[in-house]
Amino acid sequence: SSTEESSEDEGQDEEQWLAQARAPMTEFEKLQAGRKRLPVFRYREEILAAIKDHQVLVLSAETGSGKTTQIPQYLHEVGYTQAGMIACTQPRRVAAMSVAARVSQEMGTKIGQEVGYSIRFENCTSEKTVIKYMTDGMLLREFLTEPDMASYSVVIIDEAHERTLHTDVLLGLCKDIARFREDLRLIISSATLNAERFSNYFDGAAIFTVPGRIFSVDVYYTKAPEADYLDAAVVSVLHIHISQPVPGDILVFLTGQEEIETAAEELTKRTKGLGSRIKELIICPIYATLPSEQQAKIFEKAPPNARKVVLATNIAETSLTIDGICFVVDTGFCKQKSYNPRSGMESLIVTPVSRAAAEQRKGRAGRTQNGKCFRLFTMWAFQNELDEDTVPEIQRTNMGNVVLMLMSLGINNILQFDFMDKPPTEAIMQALQQLYALAAINERGELTKLGRRMAEFPLEPMHSKALLASEKYKCVDDVITILAMLTVGNSIFYRPKDRAVHADNARFNFARGGGGDHLALLRCYQQWEESNFSTQWCYENFVQIRSMKKARDIREQLTGLCERVEIESVSSVDIDDIRKAITAGFFFNCASLTRSQDYQTLKHAHTVYIHPSSVLAKDQREGVLHSHLVYHELAFTSKEYMRSITPIQPQWLLEVAQHYYDAASIQDLSQKKKVPKAVGKAPETNR
Ligand code: ADP
Ligand code: MG
């Protein structure tokens, strides 16, 4: 047990001890000493024994105990990696990268060597890699090429309590695999006390609980609901900073990058206003798309006489542990995926957290000493309005990708698959219908050749369909670029408030030549390429170099994948061909102009609007209207906005999606009155 081990340490050779005591500890020694202070260390031998004795083990311990960073190292130290790698899955990309960096430091190796990580579009591993942190989605993809997981001796499904879609599917697949791979060790690791549920699902698997040491955390509620939780959060931080002694860092839970940036700006502004009367406040944002150099900053200790405030999404709820936090400010919200199976619409919506999540957040203040948690909602709301637990993602998401993946693993009856919590039947039916419309499955519900090829790509079915269609239209290279740019998301163009007109002009320049947002993205990338990937070019065109580099990486990966499945990489100059390929993937997302100059989705007659960031918003202002559009996604803010839009010809729909649009409905559409140019000119805006 642990006491024996520590006395062993003390019983070291006296001379050696003296030598060590005299020499200052190196960084590496400090790390090693830190490892031994973690709660799991006291149970090292017992945990290893339990893993040896049980093929499936549910491991439950408080956040920050050392589950993620230590258990893989213990297993490596006692030789498990001689038989195969150790996989440790994380629901979040940032966590996979950050934890891998930490563990390679602790092992004194370079990241990507013995310890590596694998996330979508970024593989940082090598032949030497024995401990592999990866997103749950990546391990799922590996099943396609290695259905028996032969490369691994141990699979750790970490953060299982998060119950992401991919984790849930992995649980099902691993349960199946464990039956015929007796040598494989499976560890389900979870921060909360629902270990029983995992154990039941794995036919009564053993549970190992590491007792946590939690200090007491005082909870404060607001007396009345907050009208503006963001402002309330900023005010709370300032209040804590002024009234509480240092050291003692603050962790604030917000819902996303935009809020975090606003809060950071406000805090900077308002602390400046207070001048030298207050101590320094170091502001550290952390969210999924923050560049990794800046991610490391949240772990740096604040200098004496200063305080650190970490502005985080729910990534800091359980995935990442930041030492030194004494105060938690909880807005009580997070961004959550929500899916309407009937309309097939998926969106990210700001949602109240569950009581379980609020308790986790609170716990972050009491890891090393007593702490305080400021909840920006009322006690009544906590007790009566919050759900007990977060609904597993599988019950609120589009299943298209997972259904396609399971089918290519030979699992045809998805409704019978042994899920821990079943997805709604409607969502599965919807996914099957979508795959049928995309021609990925046939009328008997079997995977087609096209479907099998689609599953090869780490993309949503609509994206992979567009990519495969581009082969037919001989514009593979262009569609790859467009998909890479779309995958990077909405962070390509920036628009500083004081130079908004210049920024808009730069963006609209890419639209010259027509073809809407998709073609504009393509031209943007091509021009950057022609500039020799110049930073100056990005600067002049209000384009974020970081996003462009990411797009370039994704592009390379997709090109590599195409080579592997022998898709010839060619570029086209015909913008219609490129748009047809896009339409072949995104024809579900089609909207047409109504007589009242609104756009309505074709299938559900939902009214939708052109997002102001679309290059088509300019056309619209100038009275140029397009009869049919396909869009990449819908964003819900004040209205339902279409984002990334391409105008199309209605007859293309028939060409690319016979399964979905019949001749009659297309006929009707084309008989709609043509809208003349410059009709319904929108009122002038001062943009
Ligand atoms: P668990 O998985 O049980 O929540 P972890 O293994 O993630 O715990 O964390 C153990 C300790 O390692 C924590 O005290 C945490 O602060 C530290 N740690 C983890 N990742 C990093 C990192 N990237 N930088 C610095 N410290 C880290
Ligand atoms: Mg962890």
Ligand 1 binding pocket includes 363 (Cβ within 6 Å): no
Can you tell me the mean pLDDT for 240-262?
Answer: 93
50 C-alpha to ligand 1 centroid (Å) = 23
> Of residues 338 and 361, which shows the higher confidence score?
361
Q: Which residue has the higher pLDDT, 158 or 619?
A: 158
Residue 12 structure tokens: 């070291």
| pLDDT at residue 14, rounded to an integer | 65
Which residue in this structure is represented by tokens 């006690």? 379
Is the pLDDT assigned to residue 350 strictly greater than 90? no
- The pLDDT > 90 percentage for the chain reads 67
Contact 69 CB / ligand 1 (< 6 Å) = yes
Task: Label residue 432 by pLDDT band (50, 70, 90).
Answer: very high
Instruction: Note whether ipTM > 0.95 here.
Output: yes
CA separation for the pair 604, 256 (Å, rounded) = 30
pLDDT for residue 107: 97
**What's the gap in Å between 360 CA and the centre of ligand 2?**
13
- Cβ of 390 closer than 6 Å to ligand 1, yes or no, is no
- Token pair of 620 as six digits: 């619209």
Cα of 663 vs centre of ligand 2, distance in Å, is: 54
Q: What per-residue confidence (pLDDT) applies to 194?
A: 81
CA-based radius of gyration for the chain:
27
Could you report the per-residue pLDDT of 42-89, keeping only the tens digit for each?
A: 999 999 999 999 999 999 998 899 999 999 999 999 999 999 999 999
Task: Give 213 or 576, the one with higher predicted confidence.
Answer: 576
> What residue spans of 531-587 are helical by DSSP H?
535-540, 545-564, 575-586
> Is the CB of residue 367 below 6 angstroms from any atom belonging to ligand 1?
no
Q: Is 95 in the pocket of ligand 1 (CB under 6 A)?
A: no
Alpha carbon distance 585, 672 (integer Å): 24
Position 20 pLDDT exceeds 90: no
**Least confident segment among 178-192, 196-210, 233-247, 344-358:** 344-358
**Could you tell me how many helices (H) and strands (E) the chain has, helices first?**
28, 21
Ligand 1 within 6 A of CB of 210: no
**Per-residue b or e along 37-62, where b marks 16 or more CB atoms closer than 10 Å to that residue's CB:** ebbbbbbbeebbebbeebbbbbbbbb
- Ligand 1 pocket, residue 72 CB under 6 Å: no
Q: Tens digit of pLDDT for each residue in 94-141?
A: 999 999 999 999 999 999 999 999 999 899 999 999 999 999 999 999
**What pLDDT shows up at residue 1?**
36
User: Would the CB of 96 count as within 6 Å of ligand 1?
Assistant: no
The H or E element containing residue 486 is helix 476-488
pLDDT of the residue at 13: 62
How far apart are the CA of 442 and the centre of ligand 1, in A?
48
276 has pLDDT over 90: no
pLDDT cut 70: percent of the chain above it: 92
Q: Is the CB of 101 under 6 A from ligand 1?
A: yes
The tokens of 272 are what?
């400046």
Across 26-30, 60-64, 601-605, 643-647, least confident range: 601-605
**447-497 residue pLDDT tens:** 999 999 999 888 889 999 999 999 999 999 999 999 999 988 878 998 888
Query: How much is the mean pLDDT over the chain?
Result: 89
Judged against a pLDDT cut of 60, whether residue 675 lies above it is answered with: no
Query: 65 by DSSP, 3-state: which?
Result: coil
* Probe target for ligand 1 pocket from 69, 290, 319, with the most ligand atoms within 8 Å of CB: 69
Q: Which ligand is nearest to the CA of 100?
A: 1
Q: Inform me whether the pLDDT recorded for 34 exceeds 90.
A: yes
At 4 the pLDDT is 39
User: For the residues 237-248, what does the mean pLDDT come to?
Assistant: 93
Residue 292's pLDDT is: 76
Ligand 1 atom closest to 320 (CA):
7
Which residue has a Cα nearest atom 13 of ligand 1? 64
pLDDT value of position 685: 34
For residue 5, the model assigns a pLDDT of 41
Q: Nearest CA to 556 among 484, 479, 486?
A: 484
- Residue 3 — pLDDT band, cuts 50, 70, 90? very low
What is the mean pLDDT of the segment spanning 602-612? 89
Residue that the structure tokens 């090693």 belong to = 32
Mean pLDDT in residue range 582-599: 91
Give the residue from 285, 299, 305 showing the smallest Cα distance to 241.
305
Buried b (16+ CB within 10 A) or exposed e, 512-525: eeebbbbbbbbbbb
Ligand 1 atom with least separation from CA of 318 = 4
Distance 318 CA to ligand 2 centre (A): 7
Q: Which ligand is nearest to the CA of 292?
A: 1
Per-residue pLDDT of 497-538, as tens digits, reads 889 899 999 999 999 999 999 999 999 999 999 999 999 999
Peptide bond into 423 cis (omega under 30): no
C-alpha separations of 215 from 212, 324, 325, 366, 367 in Å: 10, 13, 12, 5, 6
Query: What residues form DSSP beta bridges with 311?
Result: 252, 285
Taking the CA of 210 as reference, the closest ligand is 1
Ligand 1, from 321, 325, 368: best to mutate by most atoms within 8 Å of Cβ?
A: 321
Residue 21 confidence (pLDDT): 61
Ligand approaching nearest to the C-alpha of 72: 1
- d(CA 74, ligand 1 centre) in Å: 15
**Do 376 and 330 contact (CB within 8 A), yes or no?**
yes
> What's the N-to-C CA distance of the chain in angstroms?
70
Q: Is beta strand 628-636 parallel, antiparallel or unpaired with respect to 590-593?
A: antiparallel
pLDDT reported for residue 158: 97
pLDDT of residue 10: 46
CA distance 585 to 470: 10
Per-residue burial over 190-228, b if 16 or more Cβ lie within 10 Å, else e, is bbbebbebbbebbeebebbebebebeebebebbeeebee
Rounded-to-integer distance, Cα 265 and Cα 255, Å: 16
Q: List helix spans (H) across 54-181.
A: 67-77, 93-106, 136-145, 165-180
Q: Which atom of ligand 1 is nearest to the CA of 65?
A: 3
Determine whether the shortest distance from the Cβ of 74 to ligand 1 is under 6 A: no
CB 330 within 8 A of CB 362: yes
> Measured from the CB, is residue 90 less than 6 Å from ligand 1?
no
DSSP-assigned letter for residue 39: G
> Of all residues in the chain, what percent are helix, strand and coil, respectively (each to 5)?
45, 20, 35
| pTM across the whole model | 0.84
Q: What are phi and psi of 306, to 5 degrees?
A: -135, 165
Q: Could you tell me which of 447, 523, 461, 515 has the C-alpha nearest to residue 652?
A: 515
Q: Is 68 a pocket residue for ligand 1 (Cβ < 6 Å)?
A: yes
